[in-house]
Amino acid sequence: MLTRQISGREAHALKLASQQLVEAAGGVKAAAELTQASASRMSEAVSPWHDNRWLTLVQVADLEAVSGQPVITRALASMAGFALAPTDPARPQDMHQVLAHIVLETSDVTTALSAAMADGKVDAREAATVKAEAQGAIIAMQQLIAQCDHLMGPASVLREVK
């Protein structure tokens, strides 16, 4: 028998993310129809009471594509110690706009963190605010990377910067 490599807390977080994804895709019935699964199977896949039933990778990909929300992908990235951020290399931007966006987003992080630390401790609500602002800054930096890739051309993802 194989033992699970993730904690019970992480498995629970994936179940919650699965529930959010299915809701974002229109609910159990719509998600089942989209993925060609039965409604009962879809319901079990998102239920915390069915620890042996999970969405398949293809179902996750389909549901995330329909909802436009990478809920499970983001949760998995977070569990692995990574932050998922969108990139949009199809929309070239002026580098001044990119820089202004980075300055604004990192300023928001500084403001939120300073406010959170003002009383000498950071509570859960403040941490959530700081995290949201930090994710915005990460997205801005990812957009800079995407813009650089666009300017460097199609082979840019194969080039190493030293």
**Would 135 be classed as within a structural domain?**
yes
Residue 114: predicted pLDDT: 97
> Environment class of residue 118 by beta-carbon count within 10 Å: exposed (0-12), middle (13-18) or buried (19+)?
exposed
CA dihedral 94, 96, 98, 103 (to 10 degrees): -170
Residue 36: predicted pLDDT: 93
- Same domain? 148 vs 111: yes
Q: How many CB atoms lie within 10 A of CB 52?
A: 5
User: What are 37-74's pLDDT values in tens digits?
Assistant: 999 999 999 998 998 899 999 999 999 999 988 999 99
Residue 71: predicted pLDDT: 92
Which amino acid appears at position 156 of this protein? S
Instruction: Enter the DSSP assignment of 159.
Output: P
**Would 85 be classed as within a structural domain?**
no
Residue 106: predicted pLDDT: 96
Coil, strand or helix: which one is 73? helix
Whole-model pTM? 0.62
**Would 30 be classed as within a structural domain?**
yes
Final residue of a structural domain among 29, 49, 79:
79
How high is the mean pLDDT of the chain?
87
Residue 133: predicted pLDDT: 92
Task: Say how many domains are in the chain.
Answer: 2
**How many CA atoms lie less than 13 Å away from 69 in the CB half-sphere?**
14
Q: What is the CATH number of the domain that holds 26?
A: 1.10.260
Parent domain of 75: 8-79
Higher pLDDT, 161 or 73: 73
**Would 58 be classed as within a structural domain?**
yes
User: What are 4-25's pLDDT values in tens digits?
Assistant: 888 888 999 999 999 999 999 9
**Would 112 be classed as within a structural domain?**
yes
- Same domain? 66 vs 110: no
Question: Closest Cα partner for 85 from 151, 18, 134, 124?
Answer: 134
Q: Which helix (H) or strand (E) holds 115?
A: helix 95-117
